Amino acid sequence: MVRLLTLSLMLVASTVAFAQKKVHQTDAAPAPIGPYSQAVEANGLVFVAGQVGINPDTKKLVAGGVDGEVPQIMQNIQQILKAAGLNWSDVVNTTIYVKDLANFQKINTLYAKYFEKDFPARTTVGVADLPGGASVEITVIAARRK
């Protein structure tokens, strides 16, 4: 009985802890184009929604394909991280969605400029299409340091 009660209390405590979340938003990055937040924090992890190369001022996809989009994406993510009180060194995981895997090396070169050392874990996925005609979309997970 004591074990069952202990297990029940642990389950409730973990559910309550996970249920506490905080939404992070900034005007310095593009507003969401659907029913989602720019970033959500739960249990010290900040989940940044996928970003494409939209300029937050013009609300249009930047020109130049991968060469223009990746720096804009990284700038958008940087602004969202900043709104959450984080920076690139807090990023622990990224996922890159790319329409043409022939651009893999070019993306690597542009992406690497934003990290000083200890790169985050990463997955790159080739996809058939992305929102708004984008060539690349990147999402990140960052961890708040205690």
pTM of the model: 0.86
Assess contact for 86 and 144: CB atoms under 8 A.
yes
Per-residue pLDDT of 62-80, as tens digits, reads: 999 999 999 999 999 999 9
* Residue ranges in the chain whose pLDDT is less than 70: 1-19
The domains of the chain, with CATH numbers, are 21-143 (3.30.1330.40)
- Pick from 99, 123, 126: nearest CA to 111: 123
